Amino acid sequence: MRQIAVIGAGVIGVTSALEVQTKLGKSVTVTIFSDRFSPNTTGDVSAGLWTPYILQDTPMDNIIKWSKETYDYALKLWQDGEAEKAGISLQVMTELLDKPEEQIPEWVSLTLGHCILDANQIAAINRKYRANYCKGVTFTAFILEPQRLLPFLMEQFKKAGGKIIQRKINSFDELSSYDVIVNCTGLEAKQLTDDKLLQPVRGQIMRVEAPGQFHCIMEPETYIIPNMDCVILGGTHQENSWDLNVSKSDADGIAQRCRQFSPSLESSKLIKHMVGLRPGRSSVILRTEIRTLRDGKRIPIVHNYGHGGSGVTLSIGCATSARKLVEDALIGNFQNKISKL
C-alpha cells in the first residue's frame, strides 16, 4: 500500500486528502499532518462565499475549471439534502464594480440565474447608495461555511480510511518515509518552500446577529454575507501584513460601510471580530516537484497553495487536479508541470 502525506488541514488540504483517499481507494493510505485543525484554520475565519477573489495572474481557464467543479459539488450536496450538515446555502449575490476599465468576470457565466445590470439599474443603485458604480451583476451564489464544511469533509475522510496527525511539519525531510507529499500549507508554504512570491493578505471581518439579512452584497471595499447562524461583515485587503490583532479602526470602517448598504445592521448584535491571513500569490501553484531529501531519497511533492481569497471557491477543482498529479507520481510520471487538467 502506498503512503501519501498531505500537509495542511485547511479547506485545500482536507479536500485534497479526501479526493486522493476516496478515488485511489485501498491502494493508498492518506495521512493529514497539521498543527491546526478546524475551527482554528484560516478558512474558519471566512464566510465561505463561492466567488473567485484575489487570484491575480492565475489563468482564467484554470479559474473557470476549478471554480465550476466546486460550484457543481456544492449544488450536488444541496440537491442531495446534505446542505445543512455541510454548511451550504444558496444566496442571491450582487457584485458592484466602480472602475470603468473593469470587466464583468468570465466566471459569472458558471452561476445560476446570472444577470448583468443595465445602465438604468446601475443608476438606481447609485442613487440609493449615493455611490458611483459603473457595472454590476447579480447571480445565485453558494455559501460553503468552512466552520461546518471542514468537519463534514473530515468525517468523510476518516470513514474512507484516512488518518490525521496533529503535528507541525517544518521540513519535507520529516516525511521521507512517504511515497508522495501533497503540500497544502497555504501561507506557511513561504517558509517550507522558500517561495518569495507568497505574501499575506490580511482580512478582518465581523460576525453579527442579523437574522433579517438574506442578500449578499460585494463591492470593492465591502461585503455582507449571510451564514446560517450569523452574518459576516467585511472586510479588509491589506497586502504584506502579518498582523493578526483586531484593529478598531478597521472594525469601525467595516461597520460604517456595511450600514450604508443595510441600515438595519445598526441594531445587529456583535458576536466577534476575526482576523485571518490569506495566502496571496501572483498565481495559484498546482504542480509536481521532484525533490531530493536530506537522506538522498527523491520524492514527488505536489504543491497546491497560493489560492488568495479563493480557497473555498477553488478547493474541489484543485483537489481533483492534485489527485491526478498524485496518480502520475505513483506511476513514475515525474515531469514538473502545472496542472492544465
Give me the sign of the Cα torsion angle 226, 232, 236, 242.
negative
Pairing of strands 269-280, 199-209: antiparallel
Domains (range + CATH), the chain: 2-330 (3.40.50.720)
For 42, half-sphere exposure in the C-beta direction (CA atoms, 13 angstrom radius) is: 29
Model pLDDT for residues 63-105, shown as the tens digit of each residue: 999 999 999 999 999 999 999 999 999 999 999 999 999 999 9
Query: Would you state the pLDDT for residue 332?
Result: 81
For 321-337, letters b (16+ CB in 10 Å) and e give bbbbbbbbbbeeeeeee
User: Among 89, 132, 113, 111, which Cα is nearest to 219's?
Assistant: 132
Mean pLDDT by 10 residues, the chain (341 residues): 97 98 95 97 95 93 97 96 96 95 94 96 96 96 96 98 98 98 97 96 97 92 96 96 98 96 95 97 96 96 97 98 97 53 37
User: Among 245, 141, 144, 252, which Cα is nearest to 206's?
Assistant: 252
Residue 301 · residue 192 · CB < 8 Å:
no
Cα separation, 307 vs 310, in Å, equals 5
45 dihedral zone (left: phi>0; alpha: psi -120 to 50; beta) = alpha
Cα separation, 300 vs 282, in Å, equals 23
pTM here is: 0.94
234 dihedral zone (left: phi>0; alpha: psi -120 to 50; beta) = beta
223 dihedral zone (left: phi>0; alpha: psi -120 to 50; beta) = beta
